[in-house]
Amino acid sequence: MKRRCVFIVYAFVCAVLFEFIGIDHALCEPPEEKRREIVQQAVRLRDSYLTVNPSTSQRTVHVVLWTPSDREPLDGYRERLSRVMIDIQEFYRSEMERLGFGPMTFSLDMESDKQVRVHLVRGKNPYSQYNVRSGTPIRRECIPVLRDAGIDADLETIVLFCNMSQWDPKGMTIGQNSPYYATGGLRQGTAWQVDSALLDPERLTDTKPIVTDRQYGRISVGRYNSIFVGGVCHELGHALGLPHNRERPEVTKLFGTSLMGSGNRTYGEDRRGEGKGSRLSLADGLRLSAHPLFTRQVNGIDLQQSAKITSLKIELASDQRSFVLSGKVTAEPIAYAVIGYLDPAGGSDYDATTAVAVPNDQGEFSMLCEPVAPTESAVLRVVVCQSNGGRIQDESISVPYSVESDGKVDIELFRTKLELEQLLAAIREEDVNSAKVALQELESRYGQTEPTVPLLAVARSLFRTIKGATQRSLASIESNPCWLSEAIPENAKVGWKSPMFDRVPGEDVALSIGGKLFGHGFYAHAPSVYTYKISGKWIRISGNVGLADGHDGTCVFVLRGDGKELWRSKLINQGSLLAFDVKVQDVEVLELIVEDGGDGNGADWGLWTDVQLHR
């Protein structure tokens, strides 16, 4: 009764909010009535595109069993893999129906005996030549077999089971050395999986026997299948274009765990009475509801897509514990939904919760965003879903925010970036004249004296990055202290794109770490090095280090003088801002180095900010 009352109050508050802002489309994991309204409006918009010149499709998901040259396929693999894929097909069907989209699911390539067609591929090498990183060569070996069957792997969705498990029936131990990941979207996708003698959804109810898995320890065969049949279901979601996202805590108790969060480990546990099982989030359902494998339509599948969000506004709720993002979306093909992913720093994107909105007929939308827990740094990513099944993440809308220990949300950085948007847009286009006009408008608004407003200081630094070469040799700079980013380095190398000063590449442009903007600094994607000849004329160097907001990597920052390490940071994660102040007296050559954090350099957008040399 108490939970029901909470939902009623929640629905009433939201209804009042949306009545106030004038657009009745939003919510993250909303109550049933609001969810139905969202789904109906999204389907109406989607169908307004799909029903014009419909193009029916017979596209299916294709299944492959790949085995090394020295291994035979496991007995009964075709029947087992058929049961796996049909069980997963039914999961998507029932979840889409629960969400209100009707019994939508993907088709499978079936044979006349109602079993799934499984394409058998024998690898060129023995088992010892393959491992978890062998996804690409394994897929490459499958392509000719699929081509002979009339299937272009680059234009279809493939579930690729690898015969790479190690099962010892006497010792009751099992392990796997298989690729286990996926990628894909509108047009194609590949999900790499592992096959094993235990993999069978019919055994999801088995609480015994107990096996020892080398990764998950002592578990029942039922739990094994929750993990690995659930893993197939989860990775297929990635092959269909779904990103990671978790459920809100209160939703877990009612419906279960988000499949694209940690739901790959809870799949079917409800059949054993051990939990609520796995579920699709409303955001996942919205994305799948226009996928060609679910709609059976391929209208506009080859179109060049475009989407842009304008007229952005962001407002805190009265209790300051949530915020509303509104705007107008223009897209071709037509947009039927806008999805937000609220992603705290760290944890990759597994801990991202979702918010959804459906545009009205004029493209206007409003999205209520409710962070789950306190976090020093987080970002809201916005994705536009289009009626041909495509989706575009508007990179210009990356909303940094933080949540205090009392639950109050800080969105001031994004408000500042909205103030700067005209200037940022001109910088993205390298339009000096428009940038000059935008800067003049900001100066007239905030005053033209030496800036005390951080926004104006950042604006002036950004403008300098496109008005022409402004850097000078360090020897010619007489100011004390001096901004090091205004001096020409002896050498500069970064791990991705090109060295940049006082800005970053891409749509964000401005330097920001942990929700704070900076006017001076270096873009230093790991591995990177900036080298300066300081000729023993400076006493100390100070500044800050961190990762650019929106980039969930790990880095280590190092200062080296004349080949000797002067300072090394701790491991830096997204959202962390670390200040430094290091002596450089008598140093001739100074190097500012960024190393990856030991897990590869993906998303390692290191930044040195407010770096100054002091005499």
* pLDDT per position as a tens digit, 379-390: 899 999 999 999
210 and 68 within one domain: yes
Taking the C-alpha atoms of residue 543 and residue 546, their distance in angstroms, rounded to an integer, is 11
pLDDT at residue 253, rounded to an integer: 67
260 and 167 within one domain: yes
pLDDT band, residue 347 (cuts 50/70/90): low
Name the residue with higher pLDDT: 539 or 507.
539
pLDDT at residue 466, rounded to an integer: 87
Collapse the DSSP code of 517 into the 3-class scheme (helix H, G, I; strand E, B; otherwise coil) and give the result.
strand
Instruction: Show Cβ contacts of residue 322 under 8 Å, excluding neighbours closer than 6 positions.
Output: 316, 368, 369, 370, 371, 409
**28 pLDDT more than 60:** no
Which of 565, 572, 564, 563 has its CA nearest to residue 597? 572
**284 pLDDT more than 70:** yes
pLDDT band, residue 449 (cuts 50/70/90): low
- Number of domains forming the structure of the chain: 4
Mean pLDDT score of the chain: 90
**22 pLDDT more than 60:** no
pLDDT at residue 3, rounded to an integer: 36
307 and 185 within one domain: no
Residues 502-512: b if buried by 16+ CB within 10 A, e if exposed: bbbebebbbbb
pLDDT at residue 268, rounded to an integer: 97
Name the residue with higher pLDDT: 445 or 77.
77
Relative to beta strand 375-386, strand 335-344 is: antiparallel
548 and 438 within one domain: no
pLDDT at residue 395, rounded to an integer: 66
CATH number for the domain spanning 377: value is 2.60.40.10
Taking the C-alpha atoms of residue 88 and residue 200, their distance in angstroms, rounded to an integer, is 11
Beta-ladder partners of 483: 612
Taking the C-alpha atoms of residue 208 and residue 231, their distance in angstroms, rounded to an integer, is 20
274 and 322 within one domain: no
486 and 394 within one domain: no
What would the pLDDT profile of 285-300 be if each residue is shown by its tens digit? 999 999 999 999 998 8
Taking the C-alpha atoms of residue 88 and residue 230, their distance in angstroms, rounded to an integer, is 8
Phi, psi of 487 (to 5 degrees): -105, 145
Taking the C-alpha atoms of residue 369 and residue 280, their distance in angstroms, rounded to an integer, is 19
594 and 480 within one domain: yes
478 and 434 within one domain: no
CATH number for the domain spanning 79: value is 3.40.390
Helix (H), strand (E) at residue 300:
none
Instruction: Show Cβ contacts of residue 200 under 8 Å, excluding neighbours closer than 6 positions.
Output: 80, 83, 84, 225, 229
- Mean pLDDT for the stretch of residues 522-527: 96
- Mean pLDDT for the stretch of residues 141-165: 97
**20 pLDDT more than 60:** no
> Cα angle at 423 between 422 and 424, to 5 degrees?
95
pLDDT band, residue 348 (cuts 50/70/90): confident
- Mean pLDDT for the stretch of residues 511-539: 94
pLDDT at residue 14, rounded to an integer: 40
Range of the domain at 486: 472-614
Name the residue with higher pLDDT: 534 or 470.
534
pLDDT at residue 445, rounded to an integer: 85
pLDDT at residue 9, rounded to an integer: 39
Taking the C-alpha atoms of residue 455 and residue 196, their distance in angstroms, rounded to an integer, is 58
Domain boundary (292, 312, 341) is at 292
How far is it between the farthest Cα atoms of the chain? Answer: 84
508 and 428 within one domain: no
- Mean pLDDT for the stretch of residues 213-238: 97
> Cα angle at 281 between 276 and 285, to 5 degrees?
125
263 and 120 within one domain: yes
Taking the C-alpha atoms of residue 323 and residue 40, their distance in angstroms, rounded to an integer, is 25
- Mean pLDDT for the stretch of residues 196-225: 97
Rounded to whole angstroms, what are the CA distances from 50 to 47, 54, 259?
5, 6, 28
Least confident of 233-237, 331-335, 449-453, 524-528: 449-453
Domain boundary (355, 372, 404) is at 404
pLDDT at residue 555, rounded to an integer: 96
DSSP per-residue string spanning 40-91: HHHHHHHHHHHTSS--B----EEEEEEE-TT-PPPTTHHHHHHHHHHHHHHH
Instruction: Give the percent of the chain with pLDDT over 90.
Output: 73
CATH number for the domain spanning 607: value is 2.60.120.1060
**450 pLDDT more than 80:** no
Which of 12, 47, 549, 21 has its CA nearest to residue 327? 21
What would the pLDDT profile of 167-178 be if each residue is shown by its tens digit? 999 999 999 999
What would the pLDDT profile of 76-132 be if each residue is shown by its tens digit? 999 999 999 999 999 999 999 999 999 999 999 999 999 999 999 999 999 999 999
Residue 145, token pair as written in the block:
């077999």
- Mean pLDDT for the stretch of residues 332-339: 96
pLDDT at residue 46, rounded to an integer: 96
171 and 155 within one domain: yes
Domain boundary (470, 499, 521) is at 470
**18 pLDDT more than 60:** no
419 and 395 within one domain: no
